Amino acid sequence: DLKLKLASKVDVEKPVRIRLLRREVARMLTVQAAAKKETELRGYEISVDPTDITGGYIIELDKPYRFRNFSDNGFKTSVNLYFVIKEPTCASRAQVTYISDVFDRAFRAIKAPDGYDPQTGAYYADLIDLHSFAIKLLVEDFTKNYDLLAGSQFFYKDRDSVDARIYAGPCWDYDLSMGDMPAAGTSPEGDFALKVSFGKVNWYKLLYQHEDFRQEVAQVYREQFRPALAVLLGERESAG
């Protein structure tokens, strides 16, 4: 069994060696569980796990080819979504297994018509932060972000002792937005985030089937998004 000591921070004086080692380790630690062959985990064999593996994590949704060819630190979920673990930069086997399970539980619950994970019974609103996901939905829909289901979508999770839920954000990478992808048929006008799929799982559409999430979106729009939009459109002066 491969053992490799890795510092918590990458040695900047040896970037090439570290990068080569990471690719070698990742290939040897790619795991496909017999019970769910569609799930893939990539991480590092380290001698001692952190005391608390529940957080914090920064996770990025990425394109499949990027994950397969360039990522050594992440996971593919049972709904064919590919996530790269940005922090910690060298996640252990236990950490990758833990956070992939957290995301799998959340997406199973979101997908369920009643919002409850059929395997654990957990309610989706106890697994994700509705407020941050509502904000993210409004930002994605307003900007018509072509990458909303493809890449540069960030999430974070703190330690369970602080907050056990997944949060959406921060917002990042909006070069393919505001109608800047005409070849793909994206327009700067009309509904977007709840309609597109690009052959992928649209978790915003799945979230919107739940009444409490729709109420959260409406409240965020009234109290935060529309007032900010009014300033952007010159309808009112900024209060700040």
> What pLDDT digit, counting tens, does each position of 89-133 carry?
999 989 999 999 999 999 999 999 999 999 999 999 999 999 999
- Is the pLDDT at 11 greater than 70? The verdict is no
- Average of pLDDT values for 60-79? 88
Confidence of residue 147 (pLDDT cuts 50, 70, 90): confident
> What Å distances lie between residue 22 and 3, 6, 163, CA to CA?
12, 10, 30
**Beta carbons within 10 angstroms of residue 22's beta carbon:** 20
* pLDDT bucket at 47, cuts 50 / 70 / 90: confident
Gap between the Cα atoms of 71 and 62, Å rounded: 9
Q: What is the mean pLDDT of the chain?
A: 82
Higher pLDDT, 62 or 15: 62
Q: How confident is the model at residue 192 (pLDDT cuts 50, 70, 90)?
A: confident
> So what's the pLDDT on residue 16?
30
Q: How many CB atoms lie within 10 A of CB 125?
A: 18
The encoded tokens of residue 145 equal 């972000």
- Greater pLDDT, 135 or 143: 135
Residues 6+ apart with CB under 8 A from 175: none
**Quick one: which of 9, 106, 95 has its CA closest to 44?**
95
8 Å CB contact between 41 and 30:
yes
Is the CA virtual torsion 198, 115, 60, 40 positive or negative? Answer: negative
Residue reference for tokens 């997908």? 111
For 42, the token pair is 């990539």
Q: What span, in angstroms and rounded, lies between the C-alpha atoms of 33 and 108? A: 18
Q: Has residue 198 got a pLDDT over 70?
A: no
Angle formed by the axes of helices 130-143 and 211-220, to 10°? 70
In the prediction, which pLDDT does 240 show? 63
Q: Is 221 helix (H, G, I), strand (E, B) or coil?
A: helix
**Rounded to 5 degrees, what angle do the CA atoms 162, 168, 174 make?**
145
Task: Check residue 223 and report its DSSP letter.
Answer: I
Give the model's confidence band at 17: pLDDT under 50 very low, under 70 low, under 90 confident, else very high: very low
pLDDT band at 29 (very low <50, low <70, confident <90, very high): low
Cβ count near 27 (within 10 Å): 10
- Count the Cβ atoms, other than its own, within 10 Å of residue 39: 19
